[in-house]
Structure 1
Amino acid sequence: MDTAQRQNTTVKEGFLVKRGHVIQNWKARWFVLLPDELLYYKYDGGKKDSSLRGKVALAGCKVTCPCLEYQNRPLVIKLKTQKSAEYFLEACSREERDAWAASITSTIQNLRPDSAQKPLSEHAHLELNNVSLNQVVDSMHDVHSGVKLVNHMEQGSSFKKCFSGAALVDWLVSMGFVLTRVEAVTLSSALMEENFVKPMGIKSVDASRVGNMTEQFLDDSTALYAFAESYKRKGSVKAEPSLSAVDLSGKVVKRGYLLKQGHKRKNWKVRLFVLRAEPGFLHYFDPSREDSNPVGGFSLRGCLVSALEDNGIPSGVKGNVQGNLFKIITQNDTHYFIQATSKEEKMEWILAIKQLT
């Protein structure tokens, strides 16, 4: 299939971080979802389709989302082929992960001979009377397969041994306690009502005061919760101020994969960019690394951001990288050259950054 034909049949495309088959490292690849297969490319010189690295025939495949096999990578989708080959693909956000999973699943279903199936909503009804909350809590505590307890940041404070609302929802779905995220929220609210789980931090505490049970628990990656037992054993879990974490404590406004030019070698690499407000910071992460620490970042106070011309290679840009470029100049006169994957994405990032400078 040539480029023109592929563009006419493309269902979805964008960056995902893929785990290698032989050497199990993680690398960013440009994925193109077609009506019958999933292609992935190395993104060379700003060209999305310059180097095909592989393809996956989707007939008979199975999607697992969320996939909890990687503790430090909660945004992974697992794709298992008819021949039992496994692909692990990481998105830039929970919304993108779920969108990719839905698109791939829909494509797989369309390839089935009996593709006319009943909608999930006909089966998606949760009977809480048939769910043992004690069994759920025991499973949550399981050392090997339970909910992972980590340290979270909220508004300059760190909370120890807790989990986000989105993480618990992901876990409940993946363990088969519920069928849908809506059911998981209802079950999580019941756990909170029975004092198995307690809210931590401003966002989750405020939500818990709402009268409607289905609105008390938040399917949100920034709403924090903890096991209630920790309050009884050790007293109230107190927030510990961490001044060094202030720049990472702001509200996440936008996140996504972008290409960034290096300061020393001037080569272009895919980075996960996270834009935060209050305080305004832009951090970037190496998606191939297992840890969650940023490899760079800067305050947006006093920054200048501007789009670069698409005609030719702008001054300061190295390599044959053209189109969808923008530049950020920090208050200390450091220049960052960044490339988006489309004109629309470029303008979205520029407008979002300008609001925080």
Structure 2
Amino acid sequence: MDKDKKTILREGFLVKRGHLVHNWKARWFVLMPDKLLYYKFEGGKRDSCQRGRILLKDCVITCPFLEYDNRPLVFKLKTKSCVEHFLEACSREERDEWAADITAAVEKLRMADGGEATSQQDPAGSQLHNIDLSKVLDSMYDVHSGIKLTNHVEQGSTYSNCFSGSAVVDWLVFMELALSRVEAVTLASALLEEGFLRTVGLRSVEALRTAGLTEQFMDDSTALYSFPESFKKRGSVKAETSLSAVEMSGKVMKRGFLVKQGHNRKNWKVRLFVLRSEPAFLHYYDPTKDDISPVGGFPLRGCLVSALDDNGVPSGVKGNIQGNLFKIITQSDTHYFIQAPTHQQKMDWIDAIRQET
């Protein structure tokens, strides 16, 4: 067991699409030098039975993979035997880190077999000067494969029919209009410079005012952009104003998968937690569905958060738990019992929540 632990390159929750029934399930993934193992999390504890494995030899990674509406954080693994696996992370950073670690493992296996190192794209050798920006815009506008328009809330204001900077960068890389994220930022900045895109909200407007050409279009999920007013796009969305829009308008401070105990059945389920500030709210989502509509949440003002001892089962907790427990008591005296994947993540979450209470 100790030997196996030494060879673990990375581990954590990912959401996996099933092969036969195409539903999405949260699984615990363990990256080894030659394979990716996954386990089921049940009853508050990772089961000891390996549910599946993905052999990494000659595996091909596609990141980002944007063919699923409302799931922009998916990446795809295609094995040597042409089996495709679709995995979703909790954030763009997590997605890109998983993809980078898996790619590095695949590369090491290839090198061990006598292969040559994969050549990296030289930014200086970019061919962006040959790209017709109007054709890029036409592709972005395509009803079926173009960029998705959504609503965003920034500092209490709702912006409709727009997209984030990181969403544009993801899309340009996925459509192979740019070979790297750095190149995609340069291309997006050129679209902005030529008036094919416009800034929306304070963050992107400020970036345009203060940054240089290649930096003004940020690979950032909080910098918003849209098409010029003179453009119309089919399938666009309408702005909606509701109470939930206010609590969802805060800046996202932290995202991650945690295991939460239900209030009624006391069962444990993996949830995607999103911590927002100004106003301070903690929302949680069912990762088998999407991160658009939370299944629950509460304001953090007046909350108490504390770490729980992993020795024994604390009062109010049921199930064969893994550990790394903490508890949140809301101002209305509702008790939430939550498990983090690691002790460090537990302490990070507690610190982040305390800053907002």
Q: Give, in whole Å, the separation in 2 of the partners of 1:124 and 1:145.
A: 29
Residues 302/201 of structure 1: CA separation in 2 closer, same or farther (3 Å cut)? same
Aligned residue number for residue 263 of structure 1: 263
Q: CA deviation at 1:116?
A: 4.2
Q: Is the counterpart of residue 203 in structure 1 residue 193 in structure 2?
A: no
Q: Give, in whole Å, the separation in 2 of the partners of 1:118 and 1:22.
A: 34
Aligned residue number for residue 128 of structure 2: 128
Given that residues 159 and 240 in structure 1 are in contact (C-alpha distance below 8 angstroms), is that contact kept between their aligned partners in structure 2? no
Aligned residue number for residue 105 of structure 2: 107
The secondary structure found in structure 2 opposite 1:284 is strand
Stretch moving more, 284-293 or 331-340: 284-293
Structure 2 segments unaligned to the other structure (5+ residues): none
Given that residues 185 and 218 in structure 2 are in contact (C-alpha distance below 8 angstroms), is that contact kept between their aligned partners in structure 1? yes
1:112-148 residue CA offsets vs partner (Å, 9 max, x unmatched) = 1245415525366423321110111111111111111
1:302-324 residue CA offsets vs partner (Å, 9 max, x unmatched) = 00000000101011001111420
Aligned residue number for residue 83 of structure 2: 85
Given that residues 121 and 179 in structure 2 are in contact (C-alpha distance below 8 angstroms), is that contact kept between their aligned partners in structure 1? no
Residues 67/307 of structure 1: CA separation in 2 closer, same or farther (3 Å cut)? same
Aligned residue number for residue 355 of structure 1: 355
Aligned residues: 352
Q: Give, in whole Å, the separation in 2 of the partners of 1:277 and 1:110.
A: 41
TM-score by length of 2: 0.94
Aligned residue number for residue 26 of structure 1: 24
Stretch moving more, 143-152 or 311-320: 143-152
Given that residues 328 and 336 in structure 2 are in contact (C-alpha distance below 8 angstroms), is that contact kept between their aligned partners in structure 1? yes
Q: CA deviation at 1:342?
A: 0.8
The secondary structure found in structure 2 opposite 1:170 is helix
Aligned residue number for residue 61 of structure 1: 59
Q: CA deviation at 1:154?
A: 1.4
1:234-273 residue CA offsets vs partner (Å, 9 max, x unmatched) = 9xxx987654411111000001000000000000000000
Aligned residue number for residue 161 of structure 1: 161
Q: For 1:234-273, what aligned pairs fall within 5 Å after superposition?
A: 242-273=242-273
Aligned residue number for residue 149 of structure 1: 149
TM-score by length of 1: 0.94
Q: CA deviation at 1:188?
A: 0.4
Aligned residue number for residue 140 of structure 1: 140
Q: Give, in whole Å, the separation in 1 of the partners of 2:97 and 2:210.
A: 29
Aligned residue number for residue 340 of structure 1: 340
Q: Is the counterpart of residue 312 in structure 1 residue 312 in structure 2?
A: yes
Q: CA deviation at 1:330?
A: 0.2
Q: Give, in whole Å, the separation in 2 of the partners of 1:37 and 1:49.
A: 19
Residues 283/211 of structure 1: CA separation in 2 closer, same or farther (3 Å cut)? closer
1:189-237 residue CA offsets vs partner (Å, 9 max, x unmatched) = 0000000000101111111112411121111111111112x34669xxx
Q: Give, in whole Å, the separation in 2 of the partners of 1:29 and 1:281.
A: 26
Given that residues 339 and 346 in structure 1 are in contact (C-alpha distance below 8 angstroms), is that contact kept between their aligned partners in structure 2? yes
Q: CA deviation at 1:41?
A: 0.2
Higher relative contact order (CA 8 A, sep 6+): 2
How high is the sequence identity, in percent, across the aligned residues?
64
1:150-177 residue CA offsets vs partner (Å, 9 max, x unmatched) = 1122122221111111110001001111
Given that residues 156 and 242 in structure 1 are in contact (C-alpha distance below 8 angstroms), is that contact kept between their aligned partners in structure 2? no
Given that residues 159 and 239 in structure 1 are in contact (C-alpha distance below 8 angstroms), is that contact kept between their aligned partners in structure 2? yes
The secondary structure found in structure 2 opposite 1:215 is coil
Aligned residue number for residue 225 of structure 1: 225
Q: Give, in whole Å, the separation in 2 of the partners of 1:129 and 1:166.
A: 22
Q: What residue identity is the alignment partner of 2:353?
A: I
Backbone CA RMSD of aligned residues:
1.9
The secondary structure found in structure 2 opposite 1:214 is coil
Aligned residue number for residue 189 of structure 1: 189
Q: What residue identity is the alignment partner of 2:82?
A: S
Aligned residue number for residue 172 of structure 1: 172
Residues 89/134 of structure 1: CA separation in 2 closer, same or farther (3 Å cut)? same
Q: Give, in whole Å, the separation in 2 of the partners of 1:5 and 1:287.
A: 32
Q: What residue identity is the alignment partner of 1:70?
A: Y
Aligned residue number for residue 49 of structure 2: 51
Aligned residue number for residue 15 of structure 2: 17
Given that residues 156 and 241 in structure 1 are in contact (C-alpha distance below 8 angstroms), is that contact kept between their aligned partners in structure 2? no
Q: CA deviation at 1:45?
A: 3.9
Q: Give, in whole Å, the separation in 2 of the partners of 1:115 and 1:215.
A: 36
